[in-house]
Amino acid sequence: MREPESVGDLAIVLHSHMPYVEGFGTYPFGEEWLFDAVIRSYLPVLDVAEKLTMTVTPVLADQLEDKGVHERLRRFLIDWRIGAAEADAKQVPAECRDACEGELVRYRRALESLDGHGGSPLRAFQSAAEDGRVALAASAATHAVLPLLATREGVRLQLDSGIRSHRRRFGWDGGFWLPECAYQPGLEWRLAERGVRWFCVDQSAHDEPLGALEPVSTEAGPVALPIDWEAIQWLWSLDGYPSDPVHAQFAGKSLRGVRIWKIGGGGYDPAKAEAAARRQAGEFLAATAERLREFSASRGHRGLIVFAIDTELLGHWWSEGAIWLREVLAGAAAAGVRLRRRPGVRTRTSAPGTPQRSPTSPSAHGAWSCACCGRSRPDCAVHRRSGPHASSWRPKQAIGPSSTSVARRVTTPSSERYSTPKPPWRP
């Protein structure tokens, strides 16, 4: 059966990052945070991943590369995950036994995948990239929020060290993840100096509804890819896909740490949860295709949805996330959605004569998104209520004049507010 012609493009970008927890204690308090992310997210996602982009921050890669981590990870998986599920299966109420069996299948598959890569989770990322199934993007050395760094030298060090670390482990094709999607006008010039070809930005606080579906070519060279919070919130929100009553409750665990309860109450049924994840994948593709059609009808050309989320959301936080991803990838072509493995390779610049939108106010410029709700942090009700915590996340105003380097949508402050002859980011 011939697949329908695609109506637009979808770039799935999975950001993989973990703070340094290596060696900081053992189960149940310490590096099990890293171990569970490997077991429940990285390995299952990499097993099904194709035609998508993933990031691996240097901080995460350092930990995944450590041989001590390899040894402790395998022991943790066998003793505290497989062993716990086997023990629980004999003792939990009858309604929870299927949940234990489902967890056993998950963990045994993770062990098989881990052993297949010589015990190295980093090798799993490398293999997926070598096979051409995923593109791996670089990031800053320590996941620093670049606009908050005090000096240009600090920014240069973060970029240089991060890219060198990535290139040593994976090679590099020019993709770069800005930590927290934090962008400062003029930063694209520093990225260009280091060979960056594309980066993601969050313009949800400033853009019109369909504005995120069009990449922006910068004067410096790299392409800015706005992430589409409209699509992201279908999954990442309080009423998103993971909130379905049949899905596993993250905190609904046995005393041994096995997820045996569902969100709606009662024992977790893996078969019903998988069916729900399949249905939700179909809903996601249908909504994606409709959004792309709406963009095409209004703009006269194809749109690109950049769907960027944390890798750890799939599998670790949302148990059924890897199943959902597998079904999205398998069904995209039939839904008329073309997957883009390298989202910044081919882009469309603004059409001649397209009106340039006025810059937004400096107070809003550069606001990065909050993981709890997807809004810019100054607009997040949780952060607004928390006093000093809110102000600590407010972005600093730009310290240079207006940058015209990002056409149409990447926001810039008014040049009238500044006297510096050119932004300190620019060469």
The H or E element containing residue 98 is helix 97-116
Comparing C-alpha atoms, which of 222, 225, 169 is closest to residue 202?
A: 225
Q: Stretch 47-60: mean pLDDT, rounded?
A: 98
Q: Tell me what pLDDT residue 28 has.
A: 63
> Mean pLDDT across the chain, nearest whole number?
83
397 or 311, which is more confident?
Answer: 311
Q: Stretch 186-206: mean pLDDT, rounded?
A: 92
Q: What is the DSSP letter of 400?
A: S
**8-16 and 304-310: which strand pairing?**
parallel
How many angstroms separate the CA atoms of 412 and 362, rounded? 7
Give the percent of the chain with pLDDT over 70.
Answer: 79
Q: Tell me what pLDDT residue 374 has.
A: 45
User: What is this structure's pTM?
Assistant: 0.84
Q: How confident is the model at residue 27 (pLDDT cuts 50, 70, 90)?
A: low
In a domain? residue 291: yes
Give the percent of the chain with pLDDT over 90.
Answer: 73
How many angstroms separate the CA atoms of 348 and 223, rounded? 10
Q: Tell me what pLDDT residue 408 has.
A: 35
Q: Tell me what pLDDT residue 427 has.
A: 43
Q: Stretch 128-142: mean pLDDT, rounded?
A: 97
Q: Stretch 295-316: mean pLDDT, rounded?
A: 96
Instruction: Give 358: exposed, middle or buried? Use CB within 10 Å, 0-12, 13-18, 19+.
Output: exposed
Helix (H, G, I), strand (E, B) or coil at 392: helix
Determine phi and psi for 261, rounding to 5 degrees: -115, 150
pLDDT tens digits along 411-423: 333 222 222 333 4
Q: Tell me what pLDDT residue 290 has.
A: 98
- Count the domains in the chain: 1
In a domain? residue 381: no
Question: Residue 44 belongs to a domain with what CATH number?
Answer: 3.20.110.10
Ordered alpha helix ranges (H), 182-242: 187-193, 229-232
Q: What is the number of other CB atoms lying within 10 angstroms of the CB of residue 131? A: 10
How many angstroms separate the CA atoms of 342 and 312, rounded? 21
In a domain? residue 375: no
Q: Tell me what pLDDT residue 30 has.
A: 81
In a domain? residue 246: yes
In a domain? residue 415: no
Q: Tell me what pLDDT residue 206 has.
A: 77
Comparing C-alpha atoms, which of 402, 395, 408, 416 is closest to residue 183?
A: 395
Q: Stretch 7-21: mean pLDDT, rounded?
A: 96
153 or 343, which is more confident?
Answer: 153
Residue 157 has pLDDT above 70, yes or no: yes
Cα 190 to chain center, whole Å? 23
Q: How confident is the model at residue 345 (pLDDT cuts 50, 70, 90)?
A: low
Q: What is the DSSP letter of 399?
A: S
Parent domain of 274: 8-361
In a domain? residue 423: no
In a domain? residue 3: no
pLDDT tens digits along 361-408: 222 233 444 444 444 444 444 443 333 333 332 232 222 223 333 333
Comparing C-alpha atoms, which of 347, 366, 371 is closest to residue 185?
A: 366
| Residue 139 β-bridge partners | 177
Length reported for the chain: 427
pLDDT tens digits along 71-127: 999 999 999 999 999 999 999 999 999 999 999 999 999 999 999 999 999 999 999
In a domain? residue 331: yes
